[in-house]
Structure 1
Amino acid sequence: MLKFTPILLALIYGYAMFRFSSWRTSRELDERSTELADPQLKTLIDKMAVALDLPRIKVHIYEIEPINGLAAPDGRIFITRGFYRRYLDGDVTREELASVIAHELGHVALGHSRRRMIDFSGQNALRTALAMVLSRFIPGIGVWIANMLTTLLAARLSRSDEYEADEYAAALLTKSGIGTAPQKSLFEKLEAITGARSGTAPAWLMSHPKTSERIEAIEKLEAKWQVV
Structure 2
Amino acid sequence: MNRYGFILFLLFALILSGCMSPDAEAPRGTEAELEKERRTQIEMVFNTNLEEERRILSIAYPIFKANVDICPVFGYATGLYVWNKYNFERKNRSIAKRTFNIGETLQIKHIMPDSPAERAGLQIGDRLVSLNGKDINKGRYAERDYYKDLRSIYRDEKINLVVQRGVNMIPISMVRDKICGYGIKYSQKMEINAFADGYAVYMQRGMYRFIESDEELATVIGHELAHNSMLHIDKFKWNSSIPIIAGIAAELANAFYGTDIDTDSIDTLQGYTRLIYAPSFEREADYVGLYMIARAGFDTSKSANFWRRMSAEHAGESGVDVEFLNSHPSNPDRFISLEKAHKEIMHKKRHSLPLLPKMEEGKTLPLVETPYVRKGGMR
TM-score (norm 1): 0.64
Q: Secondary structure at the match of 1:185?
A: helix
Q: Which runs of 5+ in 2 are unaligned?
A: 1-48, 69-75, 77-176, 352-379
Q: Deviation at 1:133?
A: 7.7
User: 1:136 aligns to what?
Assistant: 260
- Whole-Å separation in 2 of the counterparts to 1:219 and 1:132: 50
Q: CA RMSD in A?
A: 3.6
Secondary structure of 2:297 counterpart: coil
> Quick check: 1:67 aligned with 2:192?
yes
Contact 1:59–1:78 (CA<8 Å) still a contact in 2? yes
Report the Cα offset of residue 46 of structure 1: 2.9
| In the alignment, structure 1 residue 153 sits paired with structure 2 residue 281 | no
Q: Contact (CA 8 Å) 1:71, 1:108: kept in 2 or not?
A: yes
1:147 CA drift (Å) = 3.5
Deviations 1:150-206 (A, max 9, x none): 3222111111111111111111122222122342122111123344577576x9x71
Question: Which amino acid in 1 is paired with 2:185?
Answer: H
Following TM superposition, by how much is the alpha carbon of 1:130 offset from its aligned partner in structure 2, in angstroms?
Answer: 6.1
Q: How does 1:20-169 map to 2 (within 5 A)?
A: 38-53=53-68, 55=177, 58-73=183-198, 75-87=199-211, 92-126=212-246, 136=260, 143=264, 145-169=265-289
Q: Distance in 1 between matches of 2:56 and 2:191?
A: 20
Aligned to 1:217: 337
Identity over aligned pairs, percent: 20
Higher helix share: 1
How many pairs are equivalent?
A: 184
Instruction: Please say if residues 130 and 146 of structure 1, whose CA atoms lie closer than 8 Å, have aligned partners that are also in contact.
Output: no
Q: Tell me whether 127-136 or 191-200 shows the greater mean CA deviation.
A: 127-136
Q: 1: CA distance between counterparts of 2:326 and 2:253? A: 27
Q: Contact 2:236–2:274 (CA<8 Å) still a contact in 1?
A: no
CA 1:42/1:199 → structure 2, altered by over 3 Å: closer, same or farther? Answer: closer
**Residue 159 to residue 132, structure 1, CA distance change in 2 (3 Å):** farther
The change in CA–CA distance for 1:60 and 1:171 in structure 2 (over 3 A counts) is same
Q: What CA deviation, in whole Å up to 9, does each residue of 1:56-109 have, x standing for no partner?
A: 574202354432212113x2111123223434xxxx433212211101110111
Instruction: Please say which of residues 50-59 and 60-69 is displaced more in the overlay.
Output: 50-59
Asked if structure 2 preserves the Cα contact closer than 8 Å seen for 1:198 and 1:211, the reply is: no
Gaps of 5+ in 1: 1-33
Distance 1:129 1:180, change over 3 A: farther
- Call closer, same or farther: CA 1:217–1:191 in 2, change over 3 Å: closer
Task: Work out which of the two has the higher radius of gyration on C-alpha atoms and give 1 or 2.
Answer: 2
- CA deviation after TM superposition for structure 1 residue 131, in Å: 8.3
- Structure 1's 199 and 65: CA in aligned 2 closer, same or farther, altered over 3 A? closer
